[in-house]
Amino acid sequence: MGKQKTSITNCLGLWPLLVALALLLASCACPEPEPTNAADFKVVVIGKSVHPYWSNIEAGVQAAAKDLGLHADQAVFFVPPTEDVTKQIETMETYIAQGVTGIAVAPSDPSALEPVMRKAADAGIVVTTLDTPPVDDSVSLVYIGTDNYAAGKVAGEKMVQLLPAGGTVGIGRGSDTALNALQRTEGFLDAVAGTGVETLEPFNDKEDAAQALELANSVLSANPNLTGAFGVYAYNGPAWATAIKEADRVDQTKLVCFDATTDIINGIKEGVIDATVAQREFDMGYKSVQLIYLISTQGQAAAFEKMSVVNGIIDTGVDVITQVNLKEYQVQLNAKGIPHKWSTEDWEPEQDEIEQWN
């Protein structure tokens, strides 16, 4: 304690100098963008692959643009057909050359994207990330998305509940570089460690749904005792579900996955998917546009305060869905005005699914 007191007292004489230095450093580290005239504002959101999950993000982008009174061409959304780092970099280059106001990107490979993100930031463009985090010390001002490690852990805990006697679980994911895939896998593995639930080496389909299905089929046929499957990305759950149904193993293979697109909800209703960790991707798209707009019109400090940025993160949260709470989840989506194309009308949870979770 005494030591701390002395060093603070010693610093007091240097106070004005320290303040000046801090101000100088702050201004070098992150230049405040010039206030943007709304008519000049343009934001670009770059996703990872063509999929209904990304369509929900696009819907969020468009909803924010509408609420902010922007024209459709002031909020651009782009995704490559499958995982494609080169295409993401090229797209960034195109919009840097146009001098847009801000770019929100989901980096399929955070190390490969960082140099072009830095180029954008150096050019005065507001750079943020969504859905999958950037490297440590990135120029990305804010990451907007799921806490992927925690969410992967929840998925692992659900699997442990489903397999009280242990078993072997296959893992399908769409990237070996995107941090969301890596962190979810890590969380899942930590949750099952020491429980008797073993895992196979994850397979990588590079966000190609056809590949995901082929790989799920071959893992199932090579492992006749597979008791569980974990789908890390949005199309992995449906790929496992199709493979499990085709192999006639719905009762033997428990399935836990991520996201809540229509095919996943149908899998829950049918009883082939046991649980899913639904991300709030509409919010990721919406908040990316909103944050960049606020930063460019009101400055970073005001924007961060309004949007509750904590340590460079806006955690959008998740909902864990099973047959037991599916109806309730739909009520919540309706209350928030989040569009979805499925319904639980004329559907009731099955008794054995209810028992499974009690």
Residue 135, CA distances (Å) to 79, 113, 185, 288, 300 in order: 21, 9, 17, 18, 21
Q: How far apart are CA 246 and CA 111, in angstroms?
A: 39
Smallest separation (angstroms) from ligand BGC to the CB of 194: 27
Smallest separation (angstroms) from ligand BGC to the CB of 9: 51
3-state secondary structure of 75: strand
174 binds ligand BGC (CB under 6 A): yes
Q: How far apart are CA 39 and CA 257, in angstroms?
A: 42
User: Per CB under 6 A, which region of 11-19, 43-51, 115-123, 219-227 contacts ligand BGC?
Assistant: 43-51
- Side-chain-side CA neighbours of 37 within 13 Å: the count stands at 2
177 binds ligand BGC (CB under 6 A): no
Using CB under 6 A, pick the residue from 77, 258, 286, 304 that binds ligand BGC: 258
Looking at 123-178, list the stretches that DSSP marks H as alpha helix, in order from N- to C-terminal side: 148-162
263 binds ligand BGC (CB under 6 A): no
x/- site string to ligand BGC, residues 88 to 117, per CB under 6 A? ------------------x-----------
Which residue, 96 or 318, is less far from ligand BGC as judged by CB? Answer: 318
Residues numbered 333 to 352 that lie near ligand BGC (CB under 6 A) are none
Smallest separation (angstroms) from ligand BGC to the CB of 274: 17
Using CB under 6 A, pick the residue from 234, 294, 318, 321 that binds ligand BGC: 234
Which residue, 191 or 295, is less far from ligand BGC as judged by CB? Answer: 191
Residues numbered 120 to 139 that lie near ligand BGC (CB under 6 A) are 131-132
**Which phi and psi angles does 270 have, rounded to 5°?**
-75, -20
Nearest to 216 by CA among 180, 179, 244, 189: 244
Q: 185 near 202, Cβ under 8 Å?
A: yes
Q: Please, is 172 exposed, middle or buried when counting C-beta atoms within 10 Å of its C-beta (0-12, 13-18, 19+)?
A: buried
Using CB under 6 A, pick the residue from 203, 233, 240, 286 that binds ligand BGC: 233
**Applying CB under 6 A, which residues contact ligand BGC?**
48-49, 51, 53, 106, 131-132, 174, 180, 207, 233-235, 258-259, 279
